[in-house]
Amino acid sequence: MTTKEWIKQKQMNTHILLVLLSLIMIYPVIWWIGASLKTNAELSLPNIFPSVPQWSNYVNGWTAIPGHTFTKFFTNTFVIELFSVAGTVISASLIAFGFARVKFKFSNLWFSMLLMTMMIPSQVLIIPQYVIFFKLDWINTYLPIITPHFFGGGGFFVFLLVQFIRGLPRELDESATIDGCSTFGIYWHIIMPLIKPALITVAIYCFMWTWDDFFQQLLYISSVDKFTVGLALRLFMDSQSAVEWGQMLSMSLLSIIPSVVIFFLAQKYFVEGIATTGLKG
């Protein structure tokens, strides 16, 4: 066997191994898809896919909660996502620009304190945050979920963007200053276009984490007409004496589609943002 043939054989074996491992990884999803098309009686059978697919599970599941449809719940969730992602991208990039490019007193100390907030368990903050939002009369609104995203969105996002901005040459700022550009102008016209991969990475993380943040939604939202998809799935089980698991699984399957679609559409920028964060230019 020649060296070229040996390399091709090795590559083929590697691809076969990766395909087998991929099938093992996606098996739960395949089972999930099949189970969403089954009746309750057929769920106990060992076959992955039903003998007769119950496409009506998706139609009936969409309107299974009395007086409400999942159209409302998806709309509510997307409203939260829109403001949360926009707030995080704008505020985190602005704060990161300040730490990375603007000289001010005790900047290293403040940045260290920012990093320390990443080490605080979220469970420690539950009661203080709830008391603050209760006194502001924000309970049963989206404000407790959305507002924190307009104040940096968390230390992780600021840290990620700071590392990315520090990798950009400072000569760009100096050239813009000579041309009469203000500090905010440098941020908006120079830095923001160059950190697009990192911003998309932040947006994807924020979208997925907010979408999956069931606990805060459960803690602050109590009206059914304001429920998100996650709360609606929980209500799905509570509103039926005998749960139609096929319908339940079909709605839960639909609930992950937005995150999957957004990840694959922005995968190129996501990988680029992660790969280049922290590298010096």
DSSP of 201-216 = HHHHHHHHHHHH-HHH
Dihedrals φ, ψ of 29, to 5°? -70, -40
Contact 65, 251 (CB under 8 A): no
* pLDDT the model gives residue 44: 83
Distance CA 234, CA 256 (A): 15
DSSP label of 2: -
Contact 133, 148 (CB under 8 A): no
**Which range in 37-51, 78-92, 192-206 is most confidently predicted, on average pLDDT?**
78-92
Distance CA 20, CA 11 (A): 14
Q: Is the pLDDT of residue 98 over 50?
A: yes
CB proximity list for 168: less than 8 A, separation 6 or greater:
191, 194, 195, 281
Distance CA 59, CA 62 (A): 5
Contact 251, 70 (CB under 8 A): yes
**What's the whole-number mean pLDDT along residues 84-107?**
94
Distance CA 112, CA 244 (A): 51
* pLDDT the model gives residue 3: 78
**Which range in 86-90, 102-106, 198-202 is most confidently predicted, on average pLDDT?**
86-90
Structure tokens at 189: 């016209």
Contact 126, 240 (CB under 8 A): no
Q: Would you call 180 exposed, middle or buried from its count of C-beta atoms within 10 A (0-12, 13-18, 19+)?
A: exposed
Distances (CA, A) of 1 to 5, 6, 7, 10, 205: 6, 6, 10, 12, 47
CB proximity list for 143: less than 8 A, separation 6 or greater:
133, 136
Q: Is the pLDDT of residue 122 over 50?
A: yes
pLDDT bin (cut points 50, 70, 90) of residue 9 is confident
Contact 125, 218 (CB under 8 A): no
Residue showing tokens 């924000």: 138
- CATH class of residue range 67-276: mainly alpha
- CATH 1.10.3720.10 domain residues, the chain: 67-276
